[in-house]
Amino acid sequence: MLQYLNRCSQGRGAWLLMALTALVLELVALYFQHVMLLKPCVMCIYERCALFGIMGAGLVGAIAPKTWLRYGAILIWIYSAWEGIRLSWEHTMIQLHPSPFATCDFAARFPSGLPLDKWLPSVFVATGDCAERSWTLFNLSMPQWLVGVFGVFMLIAVLVVIAQFVKTRRRELFAR
């Protein structure tokens, strides 16, 4: 399996699949926001940013998967998945244990050089409350599902890192 993951990490297909998966999750979030009219909170916006990081890692990895760029993409992937787990876990705790002392910010804080909320407000402006559970599936809220989603991204990333140290062997049609 590790040899398979090593081969996949050196091809564009797996990287593009990862980017496509993150894109689909982003589109689902936008569907919830603009069609179902659910209001995203600040934590939701930050979790979206983590998904954009995973999508970016997939695109960087797809550019030149047989070069050193692959390792940079893996680092972006791991960082984004880790931040996604951390943010969605924190968001889950705010929802499960609401408290007036544990709340999220009123507005997302982006660096002054990257004001995403100003550039693309329909995606990055928060209008909801972090403690509100506005959507559930099988009694799990959106941040609870995201803990699992980011956990899967992290598990695969760790396996891909381990696979980088496994030598691939070519299969010969006629072995001697």
- Residues classed as catalytic: 41, 44, 48, 104, 130
- Return the C-alpha torsion angle 47, 51, 56, 57, nearest 10: 110
- Which residues sit opposite 136 in a β-bridge? 141
> What are the tokens at 101?
């002392």
Side chain identity at residue 39, one-letter code: K
Cα gap 17→49, rounded to integer Å = 18
Secondary structure of residue 155 in the 3-state scheme = helix
The distance between the two most distant Cα atoms of the chain, rounded to a whole number of Å, is 72
> What are the tokens at 125?
């402006």
CB within 8 Å of 145: residues ≥ 6 apart: 137
Phi then psi for residue 78, to 5 deg, are: -65, -45
